[in-house]
């Protein structure tokens, strides 16, 4: 398929959602982890926090004078960051192994963010160690209290006071551990993935680029419609007018009758072409009959066989239906015109809240993703927060897949 026809316009701008544009994921995904595993991870976090504190203490003290001198600041900062990166890698592994966190693989945090993370992590980790120590001390005291009860050396009023005081301290201790664990997870997400500010800035750039792409697609669509009307229907109407004029000036009834027959055939061809142009602008069957029937019309108008698989169990949002129709229409038209294909297969499947549209032909391949047609389809799918994938090696086959979220 070749992307040389004008692109389709996008119906809606993307919704403002915080997500990454490079397939890295916007936040750390969390897989389930058992509480013993998380407990071990919390204890190891105290150890790694101590390592970070000692690193800052000794490396910071040794490199401090060089960091203050402008001529040696860059080299000293590079040495400091070498150890800092190793410590952050260790923390990332700890979060992934013991807490089930999954962070963006290709995201690289700035040096300042790494140093800030290690500083906060050292503080929270050491504070967590103190809380764990108090919890262990409380367990020892509880054991001594149980032994005193067994030996009947503890009075009942003293026992009641110890139980009330221990319960309050236990609650505060557990609450402190929970708060520190939540803080640990939050600062890990901010370090090992893009922050909310970075995500919002990236989303603003996405929306600006999408808006520019939509404007370009609208202009390209208007130029295509004007070209179809000017080069096609308008020329046919001129020819029809000339035939009718010649029929009026005909000197014999036989000549006039022949010209009128030609004019009648020309008018039917004009109606067929006009119907094709209006279908390319927007198919009325999409509103009245639905996506399945509209795709059936695409198959009927195509000059090569089209096999369609339609597996959609529920209603679709109108923008998604429109985008799916234009993806199929554009790809089938390109396959018939440019790829020398002899067969096209269309597959439309709804799985969960994502509609997958796949068009494959057995043509010569080599589709240009930067062509106006395919770039227009990419703008349309991106406007719905969808993804368009183009696989068209030389020699074929060409497979174009669009994934459209139905939200």
Per-residue pLDDT of the chain (407 residues; tens, 9 = 90+): 444 333 333 333 333 333 333 334 444 555 667 878 888 888 898 899 999 999 989 988 898 888 888 888 889 888 988 988 999 989 988 888 888 888 777 778 888 888 889 999 999 999 989 988 888 888 888 888 888 777 777 677 777 888 888 888 888 888 888 888 888 888 888 888 776 777 787 778 877 776 776 676 666 667 777 776 777 777 778 877 887 887 777 777 877 778 788 888 878 777 777 766 666 666 667 777 888 888 888 888 788 888 989 888 878 888 888 888 888 888 888 888 888 888 899 999 998 888 999 999 888 888 878 776 777 788 778 878 888 898 888 887 889 999 988 87
pLDDT for 358 equals: 92
Dihedral of the alpha carbons of 298, 301, 305, 307, in degrees to the nearest 10: 20
pLDDT for 109 equals: 80
Contact 4, 172 (CB under 8 A): no
**Domains assigned to the chain:** 29-193 (no CATH), 285-405 (3.30.565.10)
* Burial class of residue 373, CB neighbours in 10 A (0-12, 13-18, 19+): buried
pLDDT for 51 equals: 92
Determine the Cα–Cα distance for residues 35 and 94; give it in Å rounded to an integer. Answer: 15
Looking only at the bridges linking them, the beta strands covering 344-351 and 387-391 are unpaired
Chain mean position to CA 110: 23
pLDDT for 21 equals: 38
The token pair that represents 371 in the structure block: 């062509």
pLDDT for 54 equals: 92
DSSP per-residue string spanning 332-362: HHHHHHHS--S-EEEEEEEETTEEEEEEEE-
Q: 120-144 burial by CB neighbour count: b if 16+ within 10 A, else e?
A: bbbebbebbbebbebeeeeeeeeee
Determine the Cα–Cα distance for residues 16 and 203; give it in Å rounded to an integer. Answer: 7
Residues 6 or more apart in contact with residue 81 via CB below 8 angstroms: 111, 114, 115
pLDDT for 112 equals: 85
Partnered with residue 30 across adjacent β-strands are 101
Of 384, 331, 390, 380, which Cα lies nearest the Cα of 353?
384
């Amino acid at each position: 398929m070749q992307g040389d026809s004008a692109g389709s316009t996008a119906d809606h701008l993307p919704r403002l959602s915080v997500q990454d544009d490079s397939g890295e994921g916007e936040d750390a995904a969390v897989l389930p982890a058992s509480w013993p595993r998380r407990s071990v991870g919390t204890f190891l976090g105290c150890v790694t926090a101590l390592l970070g504190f000692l690193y800052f203490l000794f490396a910071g003290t040794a490199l401090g004078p060089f960091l203050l001198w402008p001529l040696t600041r860059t080299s000293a900062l590079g040495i400091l960051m070498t150890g800092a990166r190793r410590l952050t890698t260790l923390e990332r592994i700890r979060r992934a192994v013991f807490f089930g966190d999954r962070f963006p693989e290709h995201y690289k945090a700035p040096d300042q963010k790494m140093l800030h993370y290690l500083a906060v992590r050292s503080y929270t980790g050491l504070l967590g160690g103190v809380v764990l120590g108090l919890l262990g001390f409380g367990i020892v005291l509880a054991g001594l209290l149980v032994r005193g009860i067994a030996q009947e050396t503890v009075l009942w009023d003293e026992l009641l006071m110890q139980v009330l005081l221990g319960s309050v301290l236990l609650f505060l201790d557990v609450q402190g551990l929970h708060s520190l664990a939540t803080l640990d997870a939050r600062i890990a997400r901010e370090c090992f993935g893009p922050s909310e500010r970075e995500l919002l800035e990236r989303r603003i750039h996405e929306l600006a680029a999408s808006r520019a792409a939509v404007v370009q697609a609208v202009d390209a669509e208007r130029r295509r419609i004007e070209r179809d009307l000017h080069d096609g229907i308008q020329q046919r109407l001129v020819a029809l007018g000339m035939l009718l004029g010649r029929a009026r000036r005909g000197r014999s009834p036989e000549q006039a009758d022949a010209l009128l027959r030609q004019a009648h055939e020309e008018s039917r061809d004009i109606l067929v072409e006009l119907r094709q142009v209006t279908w390319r602008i927007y198919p009325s069957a999409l509103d009245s009959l639905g996506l399945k029937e509209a795709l059936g019309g695409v198959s009927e108008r195509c000059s090569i066989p089209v096999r369609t698989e339609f597996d959609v169990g529920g209603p679709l949002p109108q923008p998604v239906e429109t985008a799916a129709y234009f993806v199929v229409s554009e790809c089938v038209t390109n396959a018939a015109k440019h790829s020398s294909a002899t067969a096209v297969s269309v597959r439309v499947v709804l799985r969960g809240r994502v509609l997958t549209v796949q068009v494959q032909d057995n043509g010569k391949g080599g589709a240009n993703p930067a062509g106006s047609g395919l770039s227009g389809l990419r703008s349309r799918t991106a406007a719905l927060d969808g993804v368009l994938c183009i696989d068209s090696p030389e020699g074929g086959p060409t497979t174009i897949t669009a994934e459209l979220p139905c939200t």
